[in-house]
Chain A
Amino acid sequence: MSKLARSEQHSNSVLARGLKEFLLFTLAGEPYAVELGRVREIVSPPLLTRVPRAASEVMGVCSVRGLLVTVIDLRRKIRVQQSAATRSSRILLTRTAEDEVVGLFVDEVRHVVRLEGSEIESAPVVLGGDVPDHVLGIGRTGDEVIVVLNLEGMVG
């Protein structure tokens, strides 16, 4: 299990400059990001138990130090190709609006990026009118184009 260490002070100074931190990860080889503050913990996938008759994006349930967590396959949710779990697969733990901790399965966690609010283009501007709930916007670092996901639209 790996954990990203973040210090309170650090994020404060970042916020002061109007920057927001995002966690960059890949799904089917493409870069995606979520707001770092929403991620409680990053863990290697524990043994998953499938839940019969659950929605298709539910991969199963697992125990993270005694806490029962439902794991959702982000790839299925945003309809990209799914490959078998590898050594770099991770689960991001996040707390939903309904105060439940759920896990989001991703192929690989890359690093943290800082984006100015103005650097994130709103999705409709780029993609046209019909944007799924889970896309918050499009960000850029260097040449890379990142889809910033909206966790509220993702779970629950």
Chain B
Amino acid sequence: MAEGTDKAREEFLSEAQELIEGLSRSLLGLDELQNSGAEDPSLINEAFRYVHTLKGLSGIFSAKAIGTLAHRVEDALDALRLGRLPLSAEFIDVLLRTVELFWQLLSHEKDGDEPPDLQPILARIRRLTSETSSQQSREEFEFEPALLAVLTEYEEHRLRTCVERGLDLFKVRVRFGLATLDKELDEVKLRLAPLGEVITYLPTGEAASLDAIELDLLLASGSDNNAITQAIGGTNVTVEQVPRRAVGPASSPLSKPQSLEPLTSNRTAMPTQHPDSEIAQAAAIRSVSQTVRVDIRKLDVLMNSVGELAILRGALARMTERLRTDGQRQLASELHRIYRSFDRRLSELQGGILEVRMVPLSQVFDRLTRVVRQISRDVDKSVRLVVTGSDTEIDKLIVEELSDPLMHIVRNAIDHGIEPRERRLEIGKPEIGIVALNAFQKGNHVVLEVEDDGGGIDEKFLIERAVASGHVAASEASVLSRDEIMNLIFLPGVTTRQEVSDYSGRGVGMDVVKTNIAKLGGVIDLHSERNIGTKITVTLPITLAIVSALLVRCAGNTFALPLNSVSEAFSLDPGRIKWIDSREVYTLRGASLPLCRLDQLLELTPLPASNRKRRFVVVAGLGSRRLGLVTDELLGQEDIVIKSLGKSLKQVRGFAGATELGDQRVALVLDVAAIIEEVLRGSEGRELVGSLHE
């Protein structure tokens, strides 16, 4: 019983989350339109529907605070869509602020976090909605009172708006079969949609026969009679333009209210007059039921099973090979056919599950858009966020972990990067700063770029900070390369700002960001030009579940190296090794590559020299931090499922987990990021501060 309740509650939380995301999307859409001076009533309706459903839902699960807030937001949106209130930038601000509060309330429901204080926002909504409640009255309009009497408030508002926009009004009379009314009406509305807006439809009351019904559709459109007639097609149509300033002649069937009531409230697809109507509810339920919500852990279980199947596939391949070498060609080729078709299906299965795990980055980006608005307002800078590639897809687990680090980066870009308005004007930059958020797929990786056109990073200041915090000795500061200097920003305690603001400047940002990104198997790079801007690039694997790995052997042990962290492998030419500062450095295509002997690092007993023929170097790492791992043998590539090592081994460094190979052996998976960190940090420390650093 308790379990059932828990499950229902979990459902509630995840559905509420979807509704809030939906609300946020609609509001951001509204904001964008508002900025470009356009309007789209469907967005307001959409937002209204989301918050309306949220209100109902929170009522069922007695999430009282969410219900209260949803109720007020619903009222505000209702006033908005009825035209009682104008849509202002401030209005959108307040609404977007409520989205933040919804998130906080939800996390309060989920994890028992401190609930936010709703009083200030409720007061703001009250103030906004009361200010203008009687702004416009019906009397200002020249429509016939008889017509106004049958229009709902919403329809009246739409009619007014369309007339103000200079559209013409048409009365389209269409005859429908009674039995198929719903379907035919939808069809007609669909055809009319490109031409304009159907404001309402009313029966004429002049039904020609028992099984037919005639409706007058009131259409606002910029087209003419012919275009409309053609668009609808069919013969049962007459189109008549309603003369301006004389809308709804007295003789019009529109003035027969007695037959209207049931139709207006029941046949309207969009909840207009009665948002609580059953139709609105049913629509909400339908739209939800098309998707299946799945706990990501269940997908992990499936993914593991697929991984085990991949191991069987490997065994099958080996079996085929054995039969072939044993001279059983007939059996071998039969088995090979089975293997091929198994392989194909398995790939499909694998692809399918991976696809289900993938979600668009817009989930994070939408949240960031809100953050940008908020911060730029708070630090009083004009910032425009330009987003590209928000439909790029990435593993759900990665998305979850990505939002904090990205938030940090974007905050930094606005707070530190973009200069104050006066400064920008002074040096001839446009007043509005730009923060660009780009995402795109690159092979098995997703690349995220956060770029600002601000002041760039002050090298001198960065060095001062690094010296002050003891990461760099003053004497060495002058010999650092530009890249090395830029990388100082990832050290703990280093900030580029003197004063601490609400948002950043405490120097706890970038090193945490780097750690979090590294946990996801990602790499972070920073590029900055003084007075031009800063660009931070984050490269992430698309998925964490199944990875292609390079299997290597070293001192009798098999290790797996995730291919996404390997750039190349070649056989070692001892002549190219140089010793620099008690460290082996390899010359590769004219550049230096630090070497690390895997057997030494892992304290393995090296193979006796007589057993060694050639040795190999695997170049690990991405971006500017690369390391050559010296190993005895390259075994080849294989798809592996990484399983984490138990808690009893958590203090052992250098391994990301283990994987089962086809022969039931377990191979350890090297944690390339950690090894690079371990090896290079030691050497960087030496270069920079002698032994001060670790």
> Which A residues fall within an 8 A CB radius of B?
46-47, 49-54, 58, 61-63, 66, 68-70, 72, 96, 98, 100-102, 155-156
Contact = CB atoms under 8 A, between A and B. Distances in A.
B653 A156 contact: no
Contacts of B667: 49
A51 B652 contact: yes
Chain A interface, DSSP helix/strand/loop, else mixed: loop
B648 A155 contact: yes
A52 B602 contact: yes
B664 A47 contact: yes
A63 B652 contact: no
B660 A66 contact: yes
B643 interface: yes
Contact of B557 (A52, A54, A102): A52
Given A49-B658, A51-B655, A53-B602, A66 B308 contact: yes
Given A62-B666, A63-B666, A100 B647 contact: yes
B646 A70 contact: yes
B665 A100 contact: no
Contact of A61 (B604, B647, B664, B666): B666
A53 B652 contact: yes
Contact of B648 (A49, A50, A66, A102): A102
A70 B668 contact: no
A70 B649 contact: yes
A100 B652 contact: no
Nearest to B655: A51
Interface string B664-682: 1111100000000000000
Nearest to B558: A49
Given A61-B666, A63-B666, A66-B304, A51 B660 contact: no
- Sorted nearest first, the 8 A-B pairs with minimum C-beta distance are A52-B602, A49-B666, A100-B646, A68-B643, A70-B646, A54-B652, A63-B660, A70-B648
A70 B658 CA distance: 11
Contact of A156 (B557, B648, B655, B664): B648
Contacts of A100: 646-648
B653 A53 contact: yes
Given A52-B604, A61-B666, A70 B645 contact: yes
Contacts of A58: 648-649
Interface string B616-638: 00000000000000000000000
Contacts of A101: 646
A68 B307 CA distance: 14
A118 B268 CA distance: 81
B253 interface: no
Contacts of A96: 647-648
Most chain A beta carbons < 10 A, residue from B557, B604, B646, B667: B646
B603 interface: yes
A67 B655 CA distance: 17
15 contacts: A46-B664, A49-B557, A51-B655, A52-B652, A52-B654, A53-B602, A54-B652, A61-B666, A61-B668, A68-B658, A70-B645, A96-B647, A98-B647, A101-B646, A156-B647
Nearest to A67: B643
Contacts of B645: 51, 61, 68, 70
Most chain B beta carbons < 10 A, residue from A51, A72, A155: A51
Interface string B316-338: 00000000000000000000000
A62 B660 CA distance: 9
Nearest to A48: B666
A63 B311 CA distance: 13
A10 B598 CA distance: 53
Contacts of B657: 68
Given A51-B652, A68-B646, A98-B647, 17 more contacts: A46-B664, A49-B658, A50-B557, A52-B602, A52-B654, A53-B602, A58-B648, A61-B658, A61-B668, A63-B664, A68-B644, A68-B645, A72-B648, A96-B647, A100-B646, A102-B646, A155-B648
Most chain B beta carbons < 10 A, residue from A50, A52, A70, A102: A52
A155 B648 CA distance: 8
Interface in B574-615: 602-604
